[in-house]
Amino acid sequence: MPLEDVQILSHVIDHWYIDVKDGNDKIYRKYTKKSNALVLSNLKYLVGMGLKDKITVRIPKIPGYNTPQDVQKTEELIRGLGIENIDFLYYSKSWPGTVTTMGKPSEPVKWAWSRRIMRIMNKTIVKIYDALEGNGRH
pLDDT one-digit tens code per residue, 80-121: 999 999 998 877 655 445 454 554 444 444 545 566 666 677
13/1 Cα distance (integer angstroms): 14
9/72 Cα distance (integer angstroms): 30
Report the predicted TM-score, pTM, of the whole model to 2 decimal places: 0.69
Q: Which CATH superfamily is domain 3-107 in?
A: Aldolase class I (3.20.20.70)
pLDDT one-digit tens code per residue, 47-82: 999 999 999 999 988 888 899 999 999 999 999 999
100/27 Cα distance (integer angstroms): 21
Residue 65 backbone dihedrals phi, psi, to 5 degrees = -125, -50
- Helix spans in the chain (H): 3-9, 25-32, 37-48, 68-80, 111-133
Domain boundaries, the chain: 3-107, 110-138
- Which amino acid is residue 16, in one-letter code? W
